[in-house]
Chains A and B, each alone.
Chain A
Amino acid sequence: MPYESKETSNTVLSKLLNQSYKYGFATEIEKEIFEKGLNEDVVRAISRKRDEPEFLLEFRLKAYKKWQKMKCPEWHILKFSEIDYQDISYYSAPKVKDKLTSLNEVDPELLETFEKLGISLSEQKRLTNVAVDAVFDSVSVVTTFKEELAEQGIIFCSMAEAVKEYPDLIKKYLGSVVPIGDNYFSTLNSAVFTDGSFCYIPKNIKCPLDLSTYFRINDEKSGQFERTLVIADSNSSVCYLEGCTAPQYDTNQLHAAVVELVAFENASIKYSTVQNWYAGNQDGKGGIYNFVTKRGLCAGFNSKISWTQVETGSSLTWKYPSCLLVGDNSRGEFYSVALTNNYQQADTGTRMMHIGKETRSRIVSKGISAGKSKNTYRGYVHINNNALGARNYSQCDSLLIGNMTNATTFPVIRVDNSTTKVEHEASTSKIGEEQIFYFLQRGISIEKGIELMISGFCRDVVTELPLEFAAEATRLLSLKLEGTVG
């Protein structure tokens, strides 16, 4: 019998590659959902539904009016069919009693959903060192460890609750980093955002737990527009984690979130994301359209904001976590791994705006592209004329797997004074048949080989993740790539 090595190994490989997305299930639950469509009445209805104060309704209406005059940006290199904003429902919430007083009143179906996702919310089984805010479609289901954190003056709750309990803080900081009208998607979010997390760390407090928000898109017809706001007051620090998954549908769901961070004097915020939205199937059908605006303001002297992201999901990713380095001596960091496979497209990167003196930024971007995917790094480093003694270091590495994929980098650096130091390094490497054969010939399996190469390539970024997420992230990356070479 002729030895059809190439064919056999390809079949085995494609089987491995197209392992089903393990979070692809949908939860059937009684829910309250708005009719599809967007107009001023819908914006008002969202606000009314959430029983919001007048200032927030005005915020929304102002955003909506601006958004109507705006156009979807075209400078990215993503290709997708036009989004019909009238074909989306802007509110979907599981039906609950008026006010939840304990976990026992949460729909068991919901708890089970999060359980299946590996996020246990019950008192006995929840993670002991991480406080979780669980968001399901448009609303936050439950927040753990709230009382324990409150003892130290730390506020960690859903955005809906924050609006009611701490309206002054919300009024002061909402839109302070990403103003209304900033960009098309953030403005849409400002008009229709539903839930999200709010976190405030008071002066001189080091948050004893990692805070975490887990986002779950469940409904096929609704978009998810969450809003997260993290404030770290002087001399405080917090480590924040964000995880996301979605069911597997043939249609695309829109996710347009806004995250705003503010760090005051000597404060530090570390914000980590492991994004694993549904990426569409191997023919590119379905998956999340992920248009996210994330921005941190280093407002105080010696403040620090660090973004770490591991992007593996979504059919489209449009995301540039950025830092405004206003305070003197402030630091911004961006560590990113973006992995694309099949027909996924990612246009992601960062913006570092050096405004204060002696500000420093560090960018480490790792793009892994496989299949027929497109992976773009887009970075902008701007050193202002007043940012004397500023420094930036950027590193952009691309790893190509196979011959059909596409990686692009657009690093832009603008320096307006002569006392700064800017470094940029870039590399491109490829994992191909020959590397794999080398591993195999030495008796090492494809899975182990790829895992080793990926973890080596991503080491600089993954080590920035909190320990319990680092191992999971490497595993997730390897899983997504299994069988992409052959």
Chain B
Amino acid sequence: MDNRPILEIKNLKASINEKEILKNLNLKVYQGEIHAIMGPNGSGKSTFSKVLGGHPAYNVLGGEALFNGIDILELEPEERSHLGIFLAFQYPIEIPGVSNEDFLRLAYNARRAFNKEPELDPLEFLGIIQQKLEIVKMSPVFLSRNVNEGFSGGEKKRNEILQMVLLDSKLSILDETDSGLDIDALKIVSEGINTFMKDDKAIILITHYQRLLDYIKPDFVHVMQDGKIIKTGNADLAKELELKGYEWLK
């Protein structure tokens, strides 16, 4: 079996607007693992996710990010996506004039084209997407609405999970997927993630709260501060943080 981590971050440094945010970040994630990254506001959690996705506003100053041994920092964002890296956004953006169905089909077909599989026509695609909708308990009505336009906070996040499931991503980075969710929506989203999670996948959960981890059991909990991971533990670490706050680690 492959003993290589699915993701290995070595001394990653990155900045935005000339300001250094990530300072020597190191992390190893293996298939079948769920990692939670916690940390105070401004510690670099979201930056980390954007850098992995290849957002053009961020500059990598040094280090490596190996995905199955390939340094992805040199790849275009869409190439990273094709390899199976998925980013669930903290604030999923609205796309005016584009129906969710068209968007999802385009994304799905782009992946199929990359895998040299024939693209699906709208009817064939409908068969696929309808099954996936059930995983996040979304009504088919969402397909005809514009991408995230007029969606509630919970609907936007469910739409992200739907895309993750549809694209069957190998490594998913979920950036504060729990924020803005009520208890019911949190349950649905968590169940969707748990159903999706398999031995051949890996998930990084970025979160502020222990609450999400009651539903999704992480194998590791990392605390990030000032652009690097300062403490790593198991699920108990999150509970301890909830009690004592981040100040405790300083």
Contact = CB atoms under 8 A, between A and B. Distances in A.
A28 to B, nearest CB: 43
A403 interface: no
Which among B53, B77, B111, B114 has the greatest number of chain A C-beta atoms within 10 A? B77
Contact of B97 (A2, A437, A442, A453): A453
B99 A456 contact: yes
Contacts of A4: 59
Interface residues of A, number: 27
A22 interface: no
Contact of A444 (B62, B73, B107): B107
Interface in B48-80: 53-62, 73-74, 76-78, 80
Contacts of B62: 2
Contacts of A459: 97
B76 A434 contact: no
The dominant DSSP class at the B interface is: mixed
A440 B73 contact: no
A436 to B, nearest CB: 8
A399 B96 CA distance: 9
Contact of A442 (B74, B146, B163): B163
Given A5-B56, A443-B82, A457 B97 contact: yes
A327 interface: no
Contacts of B56: 5-6, 9, 433, 437, 486
A438 interface: yes
Interface residues of B, number: 38
Contacts of A438: 89, 92-93, 95
A435 B98 CA distance: 11
B96 A453 contact: yes
Given A3-B73, A456-B96, A441 B53 contact: yes
A441 B106 contact: no
Nearest to A1: B74
A6 B55 CA distance: 9
A76 interface: no
Given A2-B60, A6-B56, A452-B106, A440 B93 contact: no
B167 interface: yes
Given A440-B76, A452-B102, A3 B81 contact: no
Contacts of B55: 5, 437
Contacts of A86: none
B27 interface: no
Contacts of B106: 442, 444, 448, 452
A448 to B, nearest CB: 6
Contacts of B209: none
A443 B98 contact: no
A241 B70 CA distance: 54
B97 A448 contact: no
A434 B87 CA distance: 13
A435 B110 CA distance: 17
Contacts of B60: 2-3, 5
B96 A429 contact: yes
B78 A443 contact: yes
Nearest to B80: A441
A445 interface: yes
B103 interface: yes
B57 A6 contact: yes
Interface in A315-346: none
Contact of A453 (B89, B92, B98): B98
Nearest to A12: B76
Interface in A424-480: 429, 433-435, 437-438, 440-445, 448, 452-453, 455-457, 459
Contacts of A433: 56-57
Contacts of A437: 53, 55-56, 77
A436 B134 CA distance: 28
A444 B110 contact: yes
B107 A442 contact: yes
Given A443-B111, A452-B102, A456-B99, A5 B163 contact: no
Interface string B17-39: 00000000000000000000000
A261 B95 CA distance: 39
Given A435-B95, A443-B78, A448 B73 contact: no
B110 A442 contact: yes
Interface string B143-167: 0001000000000000000010001
A92 B97 CA distance: 45
Given A6-B56, A452-B103, A452-B106, 6 more contacts: A9-B76, A433-B56, A440-B77, A440-B81, A441-B78, A443-B114
Interface of B: 53-62, 73-74, 76-78, 80-82, 86-87, 89, 92-93, 95-99, 102-103, 106-107, 110-111, 114, 146, 163, 167
26 contacts: A5-B58, A6-B59, A9-B76, A429-B97, A434-B93, A437-B53, A438-B89, A438-B92, A440-B54, A441-B54, A441-B78, A441-B87, A442-B81, A442-B106, A442-B163, A443-B107, A443-B110, A444-B78, A444-B103, A444-B106, A445-B78, A445-B110, A448-B110, A452-B98, A456-B99, A457-B96
- The 10 A-B residue pairs with the shortest CB-CB distance, nearest first, are A456-B97, A3-B60, A443-B81, A440-B77, A442-B107, A443-B110, A457-B97, A429-B96, A456-B98, A440-B78
